[in-house]
Amino acid sequence: MEQWAVGQQVDRARALEDTYTFARTAIARVVVANAVSLAVVLVLVGAIAGASASRLVQYGIVGATFGAAVLLPGVHSFVEGALRPARIAIVGDTGIGDSLPRSRPTFAACVERVHTHDRVPVRRLGRAAGGRD
């Protein structure tokens, strides 16, 4: 991915695959780092407050669990969103992914549908047609 970004010739499919590998490792690093950080914070606060050793262990477990759980819902979307422009640039004119079904139709598909289907006549309901304005 980095070689493609600086303009070197690389296989685009491989560069795209590298973005997904980077995203998975980044997500894991962020979740683990946050779990460790919150565990350390809770243990330090407990130590300052004079908690016993067994209580500090409990604070560490709670901090690690909470620290990991807080980021799980959002970190995936954040990393994937950050990599989206690079992925679009990598696959720009290759056609990678074009044969896959889409949840929403593309603009080109909508234009094609309008031009290939018969147009339905629109009936006006103005005063001349006996309706209300």
Q: What is the 3-state secondary structure (H, E, C) of the chain?
A: CHHHHCCCCCCHHHHHHHHHHHHHHHHHHHHHHHHHHHHHHHHHHHHHHCCCHHHHHHHHHHHHHHHHHHHHHHHHHHHHHHHHHHHHHHHCCCCCCCCCCCCCCCHHHHHHHHHHCCCCCCCCCCHHHCCCC
* 12 pLDDT tier (thresholds 50, 70, 90): confident
Burial class (CB in 10 A: 0-12, 13-18, 19+), 66: middle
pLDDT at 23: 87
Rounded to an integer, the average pLDDT of 118-129 is: 51
Rounded to an integer, the average pLDDT of 108-114 is: 57
pLDDT of residue 78 exceeding 80, the answer is yes
Q: d(Cα 106, Cα 110) in Å, to the nearest integer?
A: 6
pLDDT above 90: percentage of residues in the chain: 31
Angle between helices 53-91 and 12-49 (to 10 degrees): 160
Residue holding tokens 């949840």? 103
For the entire predicted model, the pTM comes to 0.58
Length reported for the chain? 133
